[in-house]
Structure 1
């Protein structure tokens, strides 16, 4: 399969090449909400060498079978995966991260690297994500499971818009936590918090990618995104 890597969108590459999302995570490239940007555009924005990224992607292509190809799954299979792997996981992750963040902010309040406001931001993320996931679980996913594609256009547009908002929340999360890099000598709670933030970011980006670029692929992106 010939791929024009530079002109291909991040979302397309993430869909076509199993393991590509790991490469994009490594370079902090947004392949979910920003998945419509080409590799050339995304690399230029980050000041990265696109040829280095292309070599990594080509290496993945030479090692087939490095993950489930969700483009070949049925809608019901993909929805079940989204519910079990991501919806359930986010509901486990965020309450614990909020607890850890509050402890770090209280104990290390005077530390110059203290992530002030992180716990409140995570609380807001939990509230927004819970609302978003309930809309998918109660309205959109049952609609797709019944094959009501024509009726799903409106809800899909809303979900995509909210995905973009989740992407902005992740960007704020990175700013508050210094890209989830704990300071030298950070206590174990602080280290555990930032490790959990890295996992949350990767999980949420993978979650949004599977919905935007595979499950919702037949629906055009709304004009505001």
Structure 2
């Protein structure tokens, strides 16, 4: 398979999961905006489209020759996907959000005077934290039970309720994605300054890990789970 500008990021990540790293590096949205062909993205940002496609296909060729375990997300039932999302991505955020918040606050308190951008990082992080906590509660208490019920007892009324609820979730995903993009901009791609202490570096590293996990989380919901309905 050769990827072209007519493929969407969501399609590519399904086939080649590590493409998410390349898309993140080039700031190409594969979760919230993952259904747009790459050609549309290339037309809106300053990027060498031919070089990106070449890098993508070279990495894919190399990846195909390696031993790795591939999960066929499309083969999972909605209930199985929900179980994975809750026990992997929700569990990660429930543990990481409060712990990482302490680090974000600590580096603001210690380094904020000399690094004023940390104040905006603190604000954006806490907005993201509140947004995702509410979002996960809504999913686990309202939307996911509806999807599980529909899988057992499919009917048009229930499906309509799910579609309406999913529209709200996708809007929340976009809000969270924009906050992550803003945090990446504020931190220069989560690159700590040369004089950064150990806590500063740990904070940026964990922010980067959280971004990666959240993008995969949203990709599984927007581009796989919701599409099954």
TM-score > 0.5, shorter chain as reference? yes
Counterpart position of 1:31: 30
Size of the alignment, in residue pairs? 218
**1:145-182 CA deviation, whole Å, 9 max, x = no partner?**
11243431100111111111111111111122222110
Cα distance change, pair 151–115 in 1 and its aligned pair in 2 (3 A): same
1:141 corresponds to which of 139, 144, 152: 144
- Residue 208 of structure 2 is aligned to residue 202 of structure 1: no
Output aligned runs, 1:1-225, within 5 Å: 2=1, 4-43=3-42, 45-48=45-48, 49=51, 50-63=53-66, 65-112=68-115, 114-147=117-150, 148-218=158-228
Q: Gaps spanning 5+ residues in structure 2: where?
A: 151-157
User: Could you state the TM-score of these two structures normalised by the residue count of structure 1?
Assistant: 0.87
CA RMSD of aligned residues (A): 2.1
Residues 175/139 of structure 1: CA separation in 2 closer, same or farther (3 Å cut): same
SS of residue matched to 2:118:
coil
- Report how far residue 42 of structure 1 moved: 3.1
Contact 2:3 2:12 in 1 (8 A): no
SS at match of 1:127: helix
The 2-side partners of 1:158 and 1:24 are apart by 25
Structure 1: 5+ residue stretches without partners:
220-225
Quote the Cα distance in structure 2 between the aligned partners of 1:113 and 1:61: 45
1:116 and 1:65, CA in 2 relative to 1: closer, same or farther beyond 3 A?
Answer: same
Deviations 1:45-75 (A, max 9, x none): 2514222222223433444754312111111
SS in 2 for 1:185: coil
Match of 2:153 in 1: none
Q: Distance in 2 between matches of 1:63 and 1:23?
A: 18
Higher helix residue share: 2
Q: Please give the alpha-carbon distance, in whole angstroms, between the structure 1 residues aligned to 2:143 and 2:87.
A: 16
Tell which deviates more after alignment, 126-135 or 34-43: 34-43
Query: Aligned partners of 1:154 and 1:112: how far apart in 2?
Result: 43
Going from structure 1 to structure 2, the CA distance change for 1:51 and 1:3 (only over 3 Å counts) comes to: closer
